[in-house]
Amino acid sequence: MKINLKNGIDKLIFGMKQNDVIAIYGKPDRNYKDEDDNVIFAYNAQKMRLTFYQEEDLKLGYIVASANDLELFDNKMIGRKIIDVKNELNQKGLSKFTAEDFDTFENYFNEDNWIILQTEFDEVVKVEVGAIINDKDEFDWKFGKK
């Protein structure tokens, strides 16, 4: 599955509604609401958790993925050393990461592309991507744009 920075993952595009996602992947394995009343879809086979923002007309705004076939710039992400992944991303212009650690986990966040690489024991275990917020402090929804 390909990560499309600022747009989504695989066939998922930020701004999709629940029915758009169900048309692609079918009904989710889990469907629940979080503490902010956002709708969460979990797909076991794809190892993805999708968040539809309640305050944004339930549009897809955040994806957490951990599938072994997850790629960015044709490079696998999951199960690889963070130093190798960051070196590859640096060559593609993604060099600014803010690191935050807790317990055995570390998060590497690139705000320009709203991507988080989560590691444990120096290996990437999860990737999170979110919809971009534009200069007007609004979400830059990609779905439906030509």
Instruction: Say what the pTM is.
Output: 0.95
Tokens at 50, concatenated: 């999708």
The per-residue pLDDT string of the chain (146 residues; one tens digit each, 9 = 90 and over) reads: 999 999 999 999 999 999 999 999 999 999 999 999 999 999 999 999 999 999 999 999 999 999 999 999 999 999 999 999 999 999 999 999 999 998 999 999 999 999 999 999 999 999 999 999 988 999 999 998 65
DSSP string, 61-116: EEEEE--TT-EETTEE-TTSBHHHHHHHHHHTT----EEEEETTEEEEEETTTTEE
Under 8 Å between Cβ of 140 and 131: yes
Tokens at 58, concatenated: 């339930």
Provide the 8-state DSSP code for 139. B
Phi, psi (degrees; rounded to nearest 5) at 53:
-75, 120
**pLDDT in the model for residue 146:** 56
**pLDDT in the model for residue 144:** 80
Tokens at 44, concatenated: 């076991």
Amino acid at 74: D
Contacts of 53 by beta carbon, 8 Å cutoff, 6+ apart:
38, 59, 61, 62, 139
Alpha-carbon distance 66 to 70, whole Å? Answer: 7
Provide the 8-state DSSP code for 30. E
